[in-house]
Copies of this chain bind each other. A is one copy, B any other.
Amino acid sequence: MSAQPGDPGQPDPSPELDRLYADFERNSMAPLWTQTNDLMPLAPRPSAVPFVWRWSELLDIARRAGDLVPVGRGGERRAIGLANPGLAPTAYATPTLWCAIQWLGAFETAPEHRHAQNAFRFVVEGEGVWTVVNGDPVRMSRGDLLLTPGWNFHGHHNDTDQPMAWIDGLDVPFAHDMDLGFFEFGSERVTDEASPHVSRSERLWAHPGLTPLSSQEAQVATPLGAYRWEHTDAALREQLALEDEGHPATVEQGHAAIKYTNPTTGGDVLPTMRCEFHRLRAGTRTATRREVGSSVWQVFAGSGAVVMDGERREVVTGDLFVLPSWTAWSLEASDELDLFRFSDAPIVERLQFQRTYLPDTDRLFPGSRG
């Protein structure tokens, strides 16, 4: 796809040109005119590819890792990343996002550490592990989103005799490639081995529209450590019920969705990652969209399909798929379909690159950018 001799605007071959190009290289320089097409395409042309991972396979592999791979200081986490085939040899899901399945055996502990990278966990099945964030033990159960904003110490311990798996989402690729990360080891055991039903952060912050008067400053990441399934489920159910009653509530017909937010700002839970949950009524097909920025989805319940750049892939509970930037995508629900999503939308929006295109209706947002 690079410019070739003879392309419009390209220089004619000559010995002088060869010498010039050699001097570029010798001086650590490189011409723009041979690479504009690659570097600055008409629209994003991601190396990352749309891809689906099967939960059944991930889970099986993670279980085997549970038998073979220790967890402890030095091998901090038994996490296996989704490695986008277009981004090999890295283990990145997208250029910004890391997504891994993590496995913790009966009574095991993943030691405490902290890093500038932001992290969360989402639980598609199972229970029994507590993640301890800055000394606050947070129960992990099906449908819960658990937050670990950058530079908070955290470890995990399995309080039961059963293994548990979940997914981790981090901005590791972004922080790595932009050279933003810091890391520090903490306690070998979690600093609080209690296993309370609700964390202290929830007791302080999980009251709708109510915030502690002792903590009035906006915070860069959410102070709420857990977003529980019961609330997410209720919010989505109400949106669909309101739609049934004729009131605006859903994103589009048959498509309910919530954004997890930082209660101190009303914005995203993390400076770099947006987390959402979507519910589609059986039979719904969403409008096809292209968006700037990438995302990772996990089917939480139900079955259906995702169409990515025209290719239709069936998905069931636990399956994960990746949408690179500007991929045309839509979702189809065979039965009621629940999906968790995380994306790098805060990066895109805070740096003012946002753009959305709906090809079916030829609508572009924001209008002023097009």
- State which of B68, B177, B227, B248 has its C-beta within 8 Å of the C-beta of A177: B177
Chain B residues near A181: list those with CB within 8 A: 40-41, 43-44
Contact: B79 with A31, CB < 8 Å? yes
**Segment at the B interface, from A157-165, A265-273, A305-313:** A265-273
A172, A204, A247: most-surrounded residue (chain B CB, <10 A): A204
- State which of B32, B42, B68, B251 has its C-beta within 8 Å of the C-beta of A77: B32
Q: What's the Cα separation between A33 and B91 when bound, in Å? A: 12
Name the CB-closest residue of B to A11. Answer: B69
User: Which chain A residues (180-199) contact chain B, with CB distance < 8 Å?
Assistant: 180-184
Instruction: Give the shortest distance, in Å, between A271 (CB) and chain B (any CB).
Output: 4
Contact: A82 with B28, CB < 8 Å? yes
Contact: B351 with A272, CB < 8 Å? yes
Chain B residues near A16: list those with CB within 8 A: 64, 67-68
* A212-B239 CB under 8 A given contacts A83-B30, A263-B263: yes
Contact: A20 with B65, CB < 8 Å? yes
Contact: A82 with B257, CB < 8 Å? no
Identical copies of this chain, number: 4
Instruction: Give the shortest distance, in Å, between A156 (CB) and chain B (any CB).
Output: 13
Contact: A207 with B258, CB < 8 Å? yes
Any B CB within 8 A of the CB of A326 = yes
Q: What's the Cα separation between A175 and B351 when bound, in Å? A: 10
Instruction: Give the shortest distance, in Å, between A229 (CB) and chain B (any CB).
Output: 11
Any B CB within 8 A of the CB of A355 = yes
Name the CB-closest residue of B to A276. Answer: B213
Chain B residues near A216: list those with CB within 8 A: 259
- State which of B220, B258, B347 has its C-beta within 8 Å of the C-beta of A211: B258
A200, A235, A324: most-surrounded residue (chain B CB, <10 A): A235
- State which of B9, B241, B247 has its C-beta within 8 Å of the C-beta of A75: B9
Any B CB within 8 A of the CB of A362 = no
Chain B residues near A344: list those with CB within 8 A: 178
> By the criterion of a CB under 8 Å from any partner CB, how many residues of chain A are at the interface?
142
Chain B residues near A261: list those with CB within 8 A: 209-211, 263
Contact: A31 with B74, CB < 8 Å? no
Any B CB within 8 A of the CB of A234 = yes
Any B CB within 8 A of the CB of A58 = yes
Contact: B31 with A213, CB < 8 Å? no
Any B CB within 8 A of the CB of A302 = no
Interface mask (A213-253 → B, CB under 8 Å = 1, otherwise 0): 11010101110100100011011001101100001111100
Name the CB-closest residue of B to A185. Answer: B42
Q: What's the Cα separation between A172 and B27 when bound, in Å? A: 21
Name the CB-closest residue of B to A177. Answer: B95
Any B CB within 8 A of the CB of A363 = no
Contact: B91 with A242, CB < 8 Å? no
Known: A29-B61, A346-B351. 17 other contacts (CB 8 A): A11-B75, A23-B64, A28-B51, A28-B82, A29-B81, A29-B91, A30-B83, A36-B77, A39-B176, A43-B181, A44-B179, A209-B222, A210-B259, A212-B249, A263-B263, A263-B266, A272-B351
Using a CB–CB distance below 8 Å, which chain A residues touch chain B? 3, 7-11, 14, 16-17, 20, 23-24, 27-33, 35-36, 39-46, 48, 51, 53, 57-58, 61, 64-65, 67-85, 90-91, 95-96, 100, 115-117, 150-151, 172, 174-184, 200, 203-214, 216, 218, 220-222, 224, 227, 231-232, 234-235, 238-239, 241-242, 247-251, 257-266, 269, 271-272, 276, 278, 292-294, 324-326, 344, 346-348, 350-353, 355, 369
